[in-house]
Amino acid sequence: MKVLLPVIMALAGLFKIKKNIVRRFYVDFNNITVSAMGKRYKKEDVIVLLPHCLQDVDCVFKITNDISNCRKCGKCTIGGISRIVEERKVKCFVVTGGTAARNIVKKLKPKMILSVACERDLTSGIIDVGKIPVVGIVNERPNGPCYNTCVDVSVLKDKLDSIIK
């Protein structure tokens, strides 16, 4: 699928199909493939990667270096996610982009990644990490791209619970 994606994206452009539809299909297909493996991982082998745009833009407590800086005020979904990863003792990182995410993966060498991002970033991230399985969750963008985005926290919780031992 990774080899076919550039071809499919080119065809999508020719037929005027929105590229995010193709990317979302790729993420969904990837998730089905990872889920079909049925493998569960120790919590220390799993990391959660989140985009910084999940945080409320007006929040003064910046969490890109440390999610525990979140005050869990409820203005964004970070507080709920923070509670979930704390309860499960899973490492979680809020990143500013693909380079930061790749650096974390390179440094920590996880065996499984749960990632939230837009279709474009998830697709490129899944390809970039190579053989490391990734479960992707596409974020919701009610205010447009990269601005006060959100994610269904219950979906994140369920997906995380399905991959950790």
**What are the sequence ranges of the domains in the chain?**
5-163
pLDDT in tens, the chain (165 residues): 677 777 888 888 888 889 999 999 999 999 999 999 999 999 999 999 999 999 999 999 999 989 999 999 999 999 999 999 999 999 999 999 989 999 999 999 999 999 999 999 999 999 999 899 999 999 999 999 999 999 999 999 999 999 999
pLDDT of residue 12: 81
pLDDT of residue 9: 81
pLDDT of residue 134: 97
pLDDT of residue 1: 65
Cα distance between residue 6 and residue 11, in whole Å: 9
Cα distance between residue 62 and residue 30, in whole Å: 31
| Topology (CATH level 3) of domain 5-163 | Rossmann fold (3.40.50)
Q: What is the pTM of this model?
A: 0.93
Q: Tokens at residue 39, please?
A: 């493998």
How many residues appear in the chain? 165
pLDDT of residue 65: 80
Cα distance between residue 91 and residue 66, in whole Å: 10
The residue with tokens 């193709």 is: 22
User: Which residue stretches of 15-152 are H helix?
Assistant: 19-37, 78-88, 98-108, 119-128
Cα distance between residue 22 and residue 5, in whole Å: 9
